Amino acid sequence: MSDYDEAWFDDAAGPLVRPYAVTGGRTRSDQYGLDMLTLVVALPSVAEAAALPTEYAKIVRLCQRPLSVAEVGAHVDLPLPVVKVLLSDLIEQNYVIFRKAAPPTEVPDQHVLQAVLDGIRKL
């Protein structure tokens, strides 16, 4: 076997595609400020998204119920920056909507939440 014929990966692994190839070479998409806790949900049905490229269609199928960006990344097995670029594309094309998590300064005080819980228990 010559150096040219040397196998670089296991045949069972399938084709190897670099993440930047999935995003068309783009590595960042800060347009929407997506973070790991941002919730995303698909607008169209799975059938409507069938014409999309594979990775996009997979994300739309997953997001039929709200998921965080981190959960989407785990399900599609792609690096988080790649998932953010793909989600940004889907948001731009109105396939997905998003909602950012509340900043820690806007989270209700623990004492207020405890008082609400105590009031519910008394009912």
Cα separation of 65 and 40, whole Å? Answer: 8
| 8 Å CB contact between 11 and 37 | no
Place of tokens 């039929």: 64
| 8 Å CB contact between 62 and 76 | yes
pTM over the 0.75 mark: no
Q: What is the pLDDT of residues 49-90, one digit of tens each?
A: 888 888 899 999 999 999 999 999 999 988 888 899 999 999
CATH code reported for the domain at 19-122 = 1.10.10
Can you state the angle between helices 80-92 and 54-62, rounded to 10 degrees? 80
In this prediction, residue 57 carries a pLDDT of: 92
